[in-house]
């Protein structure tokens, strides 16, 4: 395994600089001068006690977490797509389409160990305003396992207003590809560090769902849902994010309007742009992708051609575009691919769009892969 | 002769009275008349040989001119039936007094009569009172009583698009079930037997039969009996011994046999972490009964306690009580509930606070829409807007109790529901799973809160159980199930079922 000697004091220099630069400079011009970023790949054949060690090593390879999270409030967006009772076959969701609870626990533990002041676990569970802990319990997860993994662990369902008094507004630099901005649960603003904790999967609409597509779920269905009121958010989310997919209706008028001249109703056009908008508006500081066990053929048990696979991989990086690019390469895809080429046969590349917005690079030549080389870790999803 | 709750009842429409009644309906035609005539002949009883059906419900007197002819026409059928050990219950729906009709029935050899008259007037034959489901006079229910207006179990037609069920507010397909009503009847009429009177949809036929197996299972799994009722087309086809019809009938009887073989399950008691208390009557009936229905749909395992029985109700093992009625508990009831909260770390969910006056509501971490009061080791949760929407009441109750206390869960549940119960000695646990779709439920996983290495899986299609192995799913166990048609049951033994 390739190791690096990057010290924790030099925490993820290029990557953390990325976030700062991005905020300070015009996005599009900055995209042409992206510095090399680092993405760590770890082999981890199975869930269990070994996950913490592999992840810790990967974070060390990235330069350590302390500089990023010590004394900070860290928001962690989990990928818990669909209903808690959905399963691919008989397999628990963590083995197929959800990030596994042991990866969540290990990440929380390491964030706490690195000095995070507060860790908020976030997700927008399908069609409900119920507490996130209850949603987890329905899947037979034990939220207390996360609470004891680090000091001050909190949970919030971000599919609604939650504990906030009002929604937080995030403008997309440059005016946005689909919307000028997005109104989100307060937890996405009330944090110093934002982590996307995703699953290594294909996606029927967006080609792949990795650390960026995970952020599609930060949008509250009280505003962006199928049945959200025309004027203002509902109290309780009902339905999914059909309007993002199909453009069949607008979000509540209280939210920022669509970007001008964008009337497409093609989900393969719309969804990647919404995702790119979101990661531009709400930057991801740390991307972690669980590919130990997962599924191929789609993002959830509801997709056709679905099957359980076991790549035995973890991927982490401080730039979500670069991390997703490496993850795509690990899945057997070309991260430079675009519409018409796998896995983007019927959609645009979220990576290209995000790169265009200046979020990061998808060019493997500009990405330093640490840990296990891609060539020794590749797991071809289309052949699995 | 007294009423026997082990009777297996079936509607047996036949004879001139039925013909006269059906003349008024759109379904009247020569074939139907032929069927009604054929079913009045003793030879029709051949169908029942070797089946558990041993009690036939026949039209006896409807205050129509054909009453007398009906009673005459049925004599040969009744005589032949008696030799086969079949009981007959005559349905009487006269506007005038039923005395003469009952006397005629006694003379003809009826075993009982079915009446809508709840006046309590004595008759010469045992009476099975029949009520509309929403107007049951629980206090005067006879040892066997019947309800009309029940739901035909299955996916609700209004929520169907083609073969696909549309989700209800729960996000899962909306199903019709009488399970909640059977459980309620059991609580409000202890020791009495409920017969559900419910006809199959008009669209049912021998080639596309209604889900008869589910109708049986939806009653038996919850402690009642469905009065077997076949659709007209199927009965016509059975007269002709049509092979498709005989197969449908055979499967129906197979399900009846299955539940008769497992009659001991009827003594099993519901498991629950939540007790729902109400009088379930009058102004409280609508909300309280729908809450039961929706809790059941969420697979929340609950106990029903009639408000008047609060003092005698066993609260051991409960985590919470849902006090649904606006009427506050009496001082004695309050005392018992306080003990449950204070000493037992219990939760009481109620529409109005009637706890100690010096206790203030908790300001932080409250559940939305509820004020929480710490009382001793437990909590009283008071809804701020009262109980209005039964769906929301069921959701709130489930979440306030917390899914951490779930006794069972289903994964890939589709249109399935389940009921968990234990035998009176608390040595066996039974989880019954019903599939309300006409299509098999695939890849369903049952999670139960206790550890168990294996279980016996029973289903009507097989005489012998299948031993299934559990997988650890801390803090409980999971069982991946084969495709479920209408029903299956998992029986666990000797491993701390509660």
Q: Which residues of B touch A131 (CB under 8 A)?
A: 399
The residue-averaged pLDDT of A173-182 equals 97
Reported confidence tier of residue B23, pLDDT bands at 50, 70, 90: confident
- pLDDT tens digits for B298-347? 999 999 999 999 999 999 899 999 999 999 999 999 999 999 998 888 99
CA torsion sign for A156, A158, A163, A167 is: positive
Predicted pLDDT at B157 = 53
Whole-angstrom Cα distance, residue A354 to residue A328?
Answer: 15
* Cα–Cα distance, B191 to B143 (Å, whole number): 8
- In this prediction, residues B83-102 reach a mean pLDDT of 93
CB A67 within 8 A of CB A46: no
| Residue-level pLDDT at A260 | 86
Q: Which region among A127-131, A158-162, A226-230, B170-174 has the lowest average model confidence (pLDDT)?
A: B170-174
* CA of A179 vs chain B CAs: smallest distance (Å): 28
- Per-residue pLDDT band for A25 (boundaries 50, 70, 90) equals very low
Q: Inter-chain contact B412–A85, Cβ cutoff 8 Å?
A: yes
Contacts of A85 in chain B (CB under 8 A): 409-413
Judged by CB atoms closer than 8 Å, whether chains meet at A138 and B478 is answered as: no
What count of residues does chain A have? Answer: 384
Q: Determine, for residues A90 and B445 on separate chains, whether the beta-carbon distance falls below 8 Å.
A: yes
Measured between its terminal Cα atoms, the distance across chain A in Å is 24
Judged by CB atoms closer than 8 Å, whether chains meet at A126 and B171 is answered as yes
Instruction: Residue window 36-75, chain B: list those with CB within 8 Å of chain A.
Output: none
Find the closest chain B residue to A92 by CA distance: B411
CB atoms within 10 A of CB A5: 7
* Binary contact (A140, B399; C-beta < 8 A): no
Token pair of A230 as six digits: 């025309």
Distance of alpha carbon B212 from alpha carbon B255, whole angstroms:
9
Tell me if A137 and B406 make a contact (CB, 8 A cut-off).
yes
Nearest-CA distance B184 → chain A (Å): 27
Assign A30 a pLDDT band (cuts: 50, 70, 90).
very low
Strand order in the sheet with B471-473: B408-411, B445-448, B476-480, B471-473
Structure tokens at B92: 């009487």
Q: Which residues contact B352 (CB under 8 A, 6 or more apart)?
A: B326, B328, B382
If 0-12 CB within 10 Å is exposed, 13-18 middle and 19+ buried, where does residue A67 land? middle
Contact list in A for residue B412 (CB cut-off 8 A) is 85-87, 301
- pLDDT score, position A2: 30
Rounded Cα–Cα distance for residues B40 and B50 (Å): 20
CA distance B245 to chain A (A): 35
Identify whether the C-beta of residue A65 lies closer than 8 Å to the C-beta of residue A10.
no
Of A127, A128, A140, the CB nearest to B473: A140
CA–CA separation, B68 and B405 (whole Å): 60
Sign of CA dihedral A216, A217, A220, A221: positive
Q: Which of A83, A85, A242 has the highest number of chain B CBs within 10 A, making it the mutation to test binding with B?
A: A85
The distance of A238 to chain B (nearest Cα, Å) reads 8
Is B469 near chain A, with CB under 8 Å?
no
For the stretch A339-349, pLDDT in tens is 999 999 999 99
- Whether residues A90 and B478 touch (CB distance < 8 A) is answered with yes
Nearest-CB residue to A134 (from B402, B410, B412): B402
Pairing of strands B160-161, B164-165: antiparallel
Which chain B residues are Cβ-neighbours of A301 within 8 angstroms?
412
Instruction: Judge: B478–A85 Cβ closer than 8 Å, yes or no.
Output: no
Structure tokens at B114: 């079915």
CB-CB under 8 Å, A127 with B402: no
User: What is the average pLDDT across B352-371?
Assistant: 82
Q: Beta partners for A314? A: A42, A290
Q: What is the structure's pLDDT at B365?
A: 61
Asked if residue B1 has pLDDT above 90, the reply is: no
The rounded distance, in Å, linking the Cα atoms of B172 and B165 is 9
DSSP at A168: E
Q: What percent of chain B has pLDDT over 90?
A: 85
The answer to whether residue B409 neighbours chain A at the CB level (below 8 Å) is yes
Q: What is the pLDDT of residues B433-481, one digit of tens each?
A: 999 999 999 999 999 999 999 999 999 999 999 999 999 999 999 999 9
CB A16 within 8 A of CB A66: no
Instruction: Determine the Cα–Cα distance for residues A355 and A209; give it in Å rounded to an integer.
Output: 16
Nearest CA in chain B to A154: B365
Interface probe with B: pick from A136, A137, A140, most Cβ of B within 10 Å: A140
Among A87, A126, A137, beta carbon nearest to B445? A87
Q: Which of B395, B443, B476 lies closest to A90 in CB terms? A: B443
Q: At B291, is the pLDDT very low, low, confident or very high (cuts 50, 70, 90)?
A: very high
Contact A43/B at CB under 8 A: no
Candidates B226, B266, B256; CA nearest to B430 is B266
Cβ–Cβ contact A129 with B under 8 A: yes
Mean pLDDT across A278-294? 98
Query: Does the structure show a pLDDT above 90 at B95?
Result: no
Q: Reduce the DSSP state of residue A281 to 3 states and report it.
A: helix
| Percentage of chain A lying above the pLDDT 90 cut | 88
Across the interface, whether the CB atoms of A129 and B368 are under 8 A apart is answered yes
Number of Cβ atoms within 10 Å of the Cβ of A275:
26
Residue of A nearest to B395 (CA): A130
Burial class (CB in 10 A: 0-12, 13-18, 19+), B23: exposed
B289's CB contacts (< 8 A; 6+ apart) are B180, B181, B184, B280
> CA-to-CA distance for B460 and B442, rounded, in angstroms?
17
Size of interface A-B (CB pairs under 8 A): 41
Residues 6+ apart with CB under 8 A from B11: B56, B57, B197, B199, B227, B228, B229, B230
Residue B493 has pLDDT above 90, yes or no: no
A104 SS3 class? helix
Mean pLDDT of A358-384: 97
Looking at per-residue pLDDT, the higher value among A25 and B235 belongs to B235
The whole-angstrom distance between residue A368's C-alpha and the CA centroid of its chain comes to 20
Residue carrying the six token digits 């008759």: B123
Alpha helix segments (H runs only) across B262-404: 282-297, 331-342, 390-401
Mark out the alpha helices in B74-109 (DSSP H runs): 75-83, 99-108
- The token pair at A194 is 């934002």
pLDDT at B364: 59
SS3 A241: coil
**Does residue A240 contact residue A221 with C-beta atoms inside 8 Å?**
yes
Judge whether A126 is closer than 8 Å to chain B, CB to CB. yes
B166 touches chain A (CB under 8 A): no
Q: Are A287 and A327 spatial neighbours (Cβ–Cβ below 8 Å)?
A: no
Contact call for B403 and A137, based on CB within 8 A: yes
CB-CB contact of B10 with B212 (8 Å): no
**Rounded distance, CA A182 to CA A251, Å?**
10
Cα–Cα distance measured from residue B107 to residue B103, given in angstroms and rounded to the nearest whole number: 6
Query: Taking a C-beta distance cutoff of 8 angstroms, is the pair B184, B227 a contact?
Result: no
Min mean pLDDT across A170-184, A277-291, B116-130, B395-409 is at: B116-130
Distance CA A351, CA A209 (A): 11
Q: Does residue A87 sit at the B interface (CB-CB below 8 Å)?
A: yes
Residues on chain B touching A87 (C-beta within 8 angstroms): 411-412, 443, 445
In this prediction, residue A242 carries a pLDDT of 94
β-bridge partners, A203: A207
Q: Which residue is listed with tokens 């007037």?
A: B121
Give the integer Cα–Cα distance in Å for B496 and B498.
5
* ipTM score of complex: 0.92
How many Cα atoms occupy the beta-carbon half-sphere of A257 within 13 Å?
5
C-alpha torsion A106→A108→A111→A115, nearest 10: -120
Alpha-carbon Rg for chain A, nearest whole angstrom, is: 19
Q: Is residue A300 a contact partner of residue A115, using CB atoms and an 8 Å limit? A: no
Give the minimum alpha-carbon distance from A77 to chain B in angstroms, rounded to a whole number: 22
Contact across the interface for B412 and A87, Cβ inside 8 Å? yes
Q: Is residue A73 within 8 Å of A118, Cβ to Cβ? A: yes
**Residue whose tokens read 């919307």:** A179
The two three-digit tokens of residue B244, written as one number: 């498709």
pLDDT at B494: 65
Task: Give the DSSP H or E segment for B237.
Answer: helix B232-239
Chain B residue with CA closest to A86: the answer is B412
- The SS3 call for residue B445 is strand
CB distance B298 to B324 below 8 Å: no
Disruptive mutation site among A90, A131, A133 for chain B (greatest number of B CBs within 10 Å): A90
362-391 in B: which are within 8 Å (CB) of A? 368
User: Which alpha helices (DSSP H) does B329-442 contain, by range?
Assistant: 331-342, 390-401
Within an 8 Å CB–CB cutoff, is residue A301 touching chain B?
yes
Q: Indicate the burial class of A258 (C-beta count within 10 angstroms; 0-12, 13-18, 19 or more).
A: middle
Instruction: Note whether B395 contacts A90, CB cutoff 8 Å.
Output: no
CA distance B367 to chain A (A): 9
Check A90 against B410: CB less than 8 A apart: no
Report whether B320 contacts B344 (CB < 8 A).
no
Judge whether A31 and A155 are in contact, CB under 8 Å: no
Angle formed at CA A46 by CA A44 and CA A52, multiple of 5 degrees: 60
| B306 in Cβ contact with B292 (< 8 Å) | no
Average pLDDT over residues A88-94: 97
| A202 vs B323: CA distance, rounded Å | 48
State pLDDT tens for residues A106-118: 999 999 999 999 9
Q: Is residue B420 a contact partner of residue B414, using CB atoms and an 8 Å limit?
A: no
**The predicted structure's pLDDT at residue A100:** 98
Residue B205: pLDDT above 50? yes
- Which DSSP state fits B1? -
Average pLDDT over all residues of chain B: 93
> How close B425 gets to chain A, by Cα (Å)?
29
- Name the token pair of B254: 């197979």
A67-71, A335-339, B351-355, range with the lowest pLDDT: B351-355
Tens digits of residue pLDDT in A33-65:
444 699 999 999 999 999 999 999 999 999 999
Which residues in chain A touch residue B447, judged by CB atoms under 8 angstroms apart? Answer: 140
Q: Which of B399, B443, B474 sits opposite A87 (nearest CB)?
A: B443
Residue B91 pLDDT > 60, yes or no?
A: yes
Residues on chain A touching B480 (C-beta within 8 angstroms): 90
């Amino acid at each position: 395994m390739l190791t690096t000697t990057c010290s924790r004091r030099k925490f993820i220099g290029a990557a953390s600089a990325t976030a700062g630069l991005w905020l300070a400079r015009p996005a599009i011009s900055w995209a042409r001068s992206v510095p090399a970023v680092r993405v760590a790949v770890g082999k981890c054949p199975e869930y269990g006690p070994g996950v913490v060690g592999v992840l810790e090593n990967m974070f060390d390879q990235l330069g350590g977490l302390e500089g990023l999270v010590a004394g900070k409030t860290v928001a962690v967006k989990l990928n818990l797509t669909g209903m808690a009772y959905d399963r691919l076959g008989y397999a628990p969701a963590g083995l197929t389409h959800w990030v596994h609870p042991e990866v969540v626990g290990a990440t929380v533990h390491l964030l706490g160990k690195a000095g995070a002041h507060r860790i908020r676990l976030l997700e927008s569970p399908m069609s409900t305003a119920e507490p996130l802990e209850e949603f987890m319990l329905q899947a037979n997860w034990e939220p207390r396992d996360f609470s004891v993994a680090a000091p001050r662990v909190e949970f919030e369902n971000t599919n609604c207003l939650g504990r906030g008094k009002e929604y937080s507004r995030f403008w997309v630099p440059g005016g946005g590809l689909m919307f000028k901005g997005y109104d989100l649960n307060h937890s996405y603003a009330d944090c110093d560090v934002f982590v996307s904790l995703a699953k290594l999967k294909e996606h029927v609409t967006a080609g792949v769902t990795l650390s960026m597509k995970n952020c599609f779920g930060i949008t509250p269905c009280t505003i962006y849902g199928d049945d959200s009121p025309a004027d203002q958010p509902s109290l309780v989310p009902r339905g999914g994010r059909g309007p993002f997919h199909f453009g069949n209706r607008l979000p509540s008028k209280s939210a920022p309007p669509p970007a001008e001249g964008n009337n497409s109703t093609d989900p393969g056009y719309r969804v990647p742009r919404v995702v790119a908008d979101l990661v531009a508006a709400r930057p991801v500081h740390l991307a972690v992708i669980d590919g130990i066990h997962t599924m191929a053929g789609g993002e959830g048990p509801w997709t056709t051609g679905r099957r359980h696979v076991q790549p035995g991989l973890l991927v982490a990086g401080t730039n979500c575009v670069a991390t997703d690019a490496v993850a795509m390469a690990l899945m057997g895809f070309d991260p430079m691919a675009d519409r018409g080429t796998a896995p983007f046969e019927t959609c645009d590349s979220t990576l290209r769009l995000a790169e265009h917005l200046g979020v990061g690079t998808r060019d493997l030549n500009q990405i330093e892969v640490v840990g296990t080389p891609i060539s020794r870790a590749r797991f071809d999803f289309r052949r699995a | 002769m007294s009423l026997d709750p082990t009777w297996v009842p079936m509607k047996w429409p036949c004879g001139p009275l039925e013909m006269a009644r059906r003349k008024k309906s759109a379904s009247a035609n020569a074939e139907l008349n032929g069927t009604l005539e054929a079913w009045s002949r003793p030879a029709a009883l051949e169908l029942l040989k070797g089946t558990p059906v041993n009690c036939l419900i026949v039209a006896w007197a409807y205050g129509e001119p054909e009453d007398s002819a009906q009673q005459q026409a049925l004599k040969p059928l009744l005589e032949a039936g008696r030799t086969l050990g079949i009981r007959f219950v005559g349905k009487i729906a006269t506007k005038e007094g039923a005395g003469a009709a009952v006397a005629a029935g006694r003379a003809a050899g009826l075993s009982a009569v079915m009446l809508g008259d709840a006046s309590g007037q004595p008759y010469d034959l045992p009476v099975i009172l029949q009520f509309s489901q929403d107007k049951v006079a629980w206090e005067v229910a006879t040892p066997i009583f019947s309800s009309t207006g029940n739901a035909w179990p299955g996916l609700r037609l209004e929520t169907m698009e083609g073969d696909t069920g549309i989700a209800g507010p729960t996000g899962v397909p909306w199903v019709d079930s009488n399970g909640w009503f059977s459980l309620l009847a059991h609580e409000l009429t202890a020791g009495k037997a409920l017969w559900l009177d419910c006809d199959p949809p008009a669209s049912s036929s021998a080639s596309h039969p209604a889900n008869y197996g589910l109708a049986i299972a939806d009653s038996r799994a919850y402690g009642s009996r469905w009065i077997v009722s076949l659709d007209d087309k199927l009965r016509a086809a059975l007269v002709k011994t049509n092979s498709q019809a005989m197969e449908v009938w055979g499967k129906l009887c197979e399900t009846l046999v299955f539940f008769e073989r497992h009659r001991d399950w009827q003594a099993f008691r519901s498991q629950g972490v939540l007790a729902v208390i109400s009088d379930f009557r009058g102004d409280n009936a609508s909300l309280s009964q729908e809450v039961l229905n929706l809790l059941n749909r969420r697979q929340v395992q609950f106990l029903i306690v009639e408000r008047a029985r609060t003092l005698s109700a066993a609260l051991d093992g409960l985590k919470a009580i849902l006090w649904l009625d606006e009427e506050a508990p009496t001082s004695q009831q309050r005392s018992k509930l306080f003990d449950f909260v204070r000493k037992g770390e219990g939760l009481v969910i109620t529409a109005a606070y009637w706890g100690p006056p010096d206790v203030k509501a908790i300001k932080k971490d409250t559940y939305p829409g509820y004020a929480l009061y710490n009382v001793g080791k437990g909590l009283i949760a008071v809804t701020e807007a009262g109980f209005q929407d039964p769906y929301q009441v069921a959701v709130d109750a489930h979440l306030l109790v917390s899914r951490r206390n779930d006794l069972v869960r289903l994964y890939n549940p589709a249109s399935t529901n389940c009921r968990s119960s234990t035998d009176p000695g608390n040595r066996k646990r039974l989880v019954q799973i019903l599939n309300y779709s006409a299509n098999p439920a695939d890849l369903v996983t049952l999670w139960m809160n206790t550890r168990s290495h294996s279980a016996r899986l029973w289903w009507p299609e097989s005489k012998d159980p299948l031993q299934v192995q559990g997988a650890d799913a801390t803090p409980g166990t999971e069982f991946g199930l084969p495709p479920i048609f209408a029903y299956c049951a998992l029986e666990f033994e000797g491993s701390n079922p509660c």
